[in-house]
Structure 1
Amino acid sequence: KIMPLADEITVYPAHGAGSACGKNMMKETVDTLGNQKKMNYALNPDLTREEFIKQVTDGLLPPPQYFAQNVALNKSGYQSIEKVLESGVVPLSLADFTTLIEDESVLLLDTRNKTEFVEGHVPGSIFIGLDGTFAPWVGALIPDLQQKIVFIAQPGTEEEVVTRLARVGFDNTLGYLKGGFSTWKEAGNDVATINSISPAEFAEQYGNWTNDQILDVRKPTEFLSHHVLNSTNLPLDYINSNMNKLNREEPYLLFCNSGYRSVIAASILMARGFRGLTDVREGFQGISQTSIPLSNYTCPTEIPQEKLDSALAAVM
């Protein structure tokens, strides 16, 4: 039905790069059908129906758990966005904020950018930056849609934070720290940081780390495609269920593709009592430009399904 259509037809994707709803998706928000016919691996007129299904589904990770919860929520109904904003976009004094985060049932989310978080954050807070794939990672990492959330944001972004939380079903936001992180810091409260090094510094230290200590938190498909030799794949998607494989007394070095996911992972581990953590700025993109030994590159679409299944079984 698609191939006979005119090449000049405009195509608007339903999902973008990084979405769990597909694989190898372009980051562009608009294209022509003609270009898709040339570029899109799945639009091959020689494929049979079975081959097409295999092409577009092989290598896909299981859907995040919040997908099913959101489906149920859509069926049962939910609060209006106006009500969610009214209850969630609430400026909290430092005293009220402190009281709330001392409650173990409340999650403290820091939505600033990764550099700000690395340089200083409230101890125990979880980083998921608004400037990255915020909502999908919230949905993938926070298992309970009813989770009570208090957050720290870049001043002026508070309404956007609550709105984007609500888009994946998290409506139980209690408010944000008025004045942002500076309010916490200027009051003389404890501030946590993450040790951060450049890819070049990692190259100098590479021989000092064991393969169990070098944690690549990218997806299994990314790892199998191209990775640092003598590293361990601990996908961020499954970090909560694999934390028992790590030793709180051991130092660990973390990286992802660009540095966003590894800071999320580091924040989760720190909140669970891990202290000797080092994050590699620029992630694999930067590492691949150094002398650090890498595996041979394999196109993600050419990774054998049995190899991917084995990798998934090891982390799920």
Structure 2
Amino acid sequence: MKIEQIYTGCLAQGAYYIESKGEAVIIDPLRETRPYINRLTKDNVILKYIFETHFHADFVSGHLDLSKKTNAPIVYGPTANPEFEAIIATDNQIFEIGDLKIKVLHTPGHTLESTCYLLSDENGKDIALFSGDTLFLGDVGRPDLAQKSANMTQEDLAGLLYDSLYNKILPLADDITVYPAHGAGSACGKNMMKETVDSLGNQKKMNYSLNQPSKDSFIQAVTEGLLPPPAYFGMNVAMNKKGYESFDNVLSQGMTALSVQDFENIAEQSSALIIDTRSNSDFANGFIPQSINIGINGDFAPWVGAMIIDVKQPILLVTDEGTEQEVVTRLSRVGFDNVLGYLKGGFHSWLAAQKEIDFVKRITAETFAEQIDNKDYIIIDVRAASEYESEHVEEAYSKPLAYINEWLKTIDPKQHFYLHCAGGYRSMIAASILQARGFRNFTEIAGGFNAIAQTNIPKTDFVCQSKVLR
């Protein structure tokens, strides 16, 4: 028997590969199928089933492509209604894989079709729970994402989630290993642990959701403090439910190398958005006008989804050479399939062609400290609200990057301001968006709050973020 967690950090997502006696299953696969095909070939096993815990909102699953390439059927839990052929399992239905058995546990609440899969060994002992977005480590799936499709309130869904957890999960043995679909950093929960595997017994002790005195208190606890979900979530659900373009075709189109002239022509003649995936420091030193910086070395795909929203948006790429395929792949994971191509030779080829470039005004934290000394100033902190509440520069305004489309309307373009995040990644996203929208009268701080904290700039007292989040 083999159980392998295939964890993708930028999405905080866990897929699972289970193998026994020449048969395998994959739970919640990512969009690109080649790694799974290679694994099956290496182990010389047949993929028997593809299990989906629910219609994912934060990424596009690889279930359809993987099924077409392996002939393995796709399995959903009760009440699922995909627009393609799939096995819709009944509650408590058993699937056999080699010497193992997988039991379907219908656990609605996060979504109506949400399902956990309970794995037992050849002796019939329950050993692992693949909990999807029903139970995370330290948290549970948010109950507000499926309100529209379910015609229910988030409180109604939270009530269903309580019944699922307290009637079906809590009675299970403490020594069962919990394998969730997401970890810390995912927008599918509020406050997940950084660990990606834990025992159910430990979760029973420390997970706030499993220690509520009543159903009403559970509903209040899990619905409190929910931030609006990223706008692209609904589009990803639709793709997972209805179907999508083959990843192979998406990759082939996205890997079109464009000359400087072709790149410029497409940018001028279409509504394509230029995404520059280089580091924020490289971007600050020069970039193609109107391009948006979302660095590949960060939470790239989620921020693309949060900032761009429309998965059908045509995209042109500026990348570090050699990273083009990775960028196209990571975009496809969140449904952004309309990549028209990339600039051949990267930004260096644009420079060599002596094309127009733009810059972001960036200064060090030390220079920032000197400039604001005994002067009036405006500081915008684009970190998350919890980070700001934990500790921030005195007099700074909290304007989280996720809500830039709302707060930039309140900015006076004639009044200078300073801009920072934690380390420079998010503030450069904000800076590039601001400049693309015509805002020029600002200065971005290199190194963000991490660097500012090393200066004598007055800051608020530190508050543990775990307390803030609670």
Instruction: Tell me the equivalent position of 1:75.
Output: 241
Q: 1:153 aligned to 295, 319, 332, which one? A: 319
Instruction: Tell me the equivalent position of 1:138.
Output: 304
> CA separation in 1, counterparts of 2:209 and 2:365?
38
Do residues 223 (structure 1) and 392 (structure 2) align?
Answer: no
Q: 1:274 aligned to 439, 457, 462, which one? A: 439
Cα drift, residue 52 of structure 1: 4.2
Matches within 5 A, 1:218-257: 218-257=383-422
> CA separation in 2, counterparts of 1:210 and 1:15?
44
Do residues 100 (structure 1) and 100 (structure 2) align?
Answer: no
Do residues 214 (structure 1) and 384 (structure 2) align?
Answer: no
Show CA shifts across 1:30-65 (max 9, x none).
Answer: 455566567x55266465444444444432311111
Kept in 2: contact 1:148–1:173 (CA 8 A)? yes
Instruction: Tell me the equivalent position of 2:194.
Output: 27
Cα drift, residue 197 of structure 1: 2.4
User: How does the TM-score come out when normalised to structure 2?
Assistant: 0.59
Kept in 2: contact 1:111–1:151 (CA 8 A)? yes
Unaligned runs of 5+ in 2: 1-168
Do residues 66 (structure 1) and 236 (structure 2) align?
Answer: no
> CA separation in 2, counterparts of 1:60 and 1:210?
35
Comparing both structures, which one devotes a greater share of its residues to strand?
A: 2
Show CA shifts across 1:163-198 (max 9, x none).
Answer: 111111111110000011110112112222222223
Q: Summarize the Cα distance change of 1:186–1:37 in structure 2 as closer, same or farther, 3 Å threshold.
A: farther
Instruction: Tell me the equivalent position of 1:294.
Output: 459
Q: Summarize the Cα distance change of 1:26–1:210 in structure 2 as closer, same or farther, 3 Å threshold.
A: farther
3-state SS of the aligned residue for 1:64? Answer: coil
Cα drift, residue 298 of structure 1: 3.6
Matches within 5 A, 1:253-264: 253-264=418-429
User: How does the TM-score come out when normalised to structure 1?
Assistant: 0.85
Cα drift, residue 79 of structure 1: 0.4
RCO comparison, higher one (Cα < 8 Å, 6+): 1
Cα drift, residue 3 of structure 1: 8.6
Q: Summarize the Cα distance change of 1:54–1:260 in structure 2 as closer, same or farther, 3 Å threshold.
A: farther
Instruction: Tell me the equivalent position of 1:177.
Output: 343
Aligned positions, number:
302
Q: Name the aligned partner's letter for residue 454 of structure 2.
A: Q
Kept in 1: contact 2:174–2:202 (CA 8 A)? no
Kept in 2: contact 1:42–1:56 (CA 8 A)? no
Do residues 15 (structure 1) and 177 (structure 2) align?
Answer: no
Comparing both structures, which one devotes a greater share of its residues to helix?
A: 1
Q: 1:119 aligned to 268, 285, 292, which one? A: 285
> CA separation in 1, counterparts of 2:467 and 2:263?
50
> CA separation in 2, counterparts of 1:166 and 1:270?
27
Which has the greater radius of gyration? 2
Kept in 2: contact 1:12–1:31 (CA 8 A)? yes
Kept in 2: contact 1:217–1:255 (CA 8 A)? yes
Q: Summarize the Cα distance change of 1:239–1:79 in structure 2 as closer, same or farther, 3 Å threshold.
A: same
> CA separation in 2, counterparts of 1:187 and 1:176?
16
Cα drift, residue 281 of structure 1: 2.1
> Percent of aligned pairs with the same residue?
50
Unaligned runs of 5+ in 1: 306-316
